[in-house]
Amino acid sequence: MTLSAPTQVDSRDTQENHAGHRNKILVVAATSLGIVFITHLFLSGHAANRLHQTCAICRLNRVDYTSTITGRTRSRVAETSCSAWYREKSEDQHDHVWVRSPTVGLVNFYGQTIGVSDNDETPGRAIWLLSPNQQIEIYEHFDGRLEAKALFTALAHPEAWDDRADFSIVYSLRQWADSGFQRSWQAPVELRGWLTQHNH
């Protein structure tokens, strides 16, 4: 009497059980990897628009995140050297004049930038050519700080972009700074009429 046949059957059953178990593990692993991959693709996609803004008067910074799914916007503000100086040296409160940056960042759910959209056709964009520290120096050397405030406010006027006056004003301010702030600032001759109309 021999037991070889049942042993072979049991061996085949065990192998089939192992193979079935291994196949289940492979299916679960493949499914999990697929879910992870699809989730990663979803999270890596365009989730929000990130827009930087600055106050033309004090240069307080603001970042707006607008969801592409819900359309809701959340904002956060950040102090700059100029905004802190302006609050201490000029006005402790004022109405902010927000100016958008020339570009809009496209971000994913991880907060990573995945692209950039052009946003240069916006009033006041020339103010971004001045750093907060440069704006402090201009305030300090202007004959009157309220006069300088009115000038920076005028930069954000919609007609400043239409008339291309904003860049001309900022370039003249930078030239004045490069000269060591010699004399008082004088507006370019071609812009004096425009400033008289809008600088109030």
The domain total for the chain is: 2
Residue type, 103: T
Answer yes or no: do 134 and 182 share one domain.
yes
What is the rounded CA–CA span in Å between residue 123 and residue 53?
A: 12
Supply the range of the domain harboring residue 93: 48-198
Answer yes or no: do 134 and 53 share one domain.
yes
pLDDT tens digits, one per residue of 131-169:
999 999 999 999 888 999 999 998 888 777 666 788 888
Answer yes or no: do 58 and 34 share one domain.
no
Residue 19 in this model has a pLDDT that exceeds 70: no
Residue 37 in this model has a pLDDT that exceeds 60: no
Closest CA to 122 of 149, 168, 152, 162: 162
3-state DSSP percent of the chain in helix, strand and coil, to 5? 50, 20, 30
Residue % of the chain over a pLDDT of 70: 64
Is this model's pTM higher than 0.85 or not? no
Answer yes or no: do 21 and 102 share one domain.
no
pLDDT band at residue 51 under the 50/70/90 scheme: confident
Answer yes or no: do 19 and 117 share one domain.
no
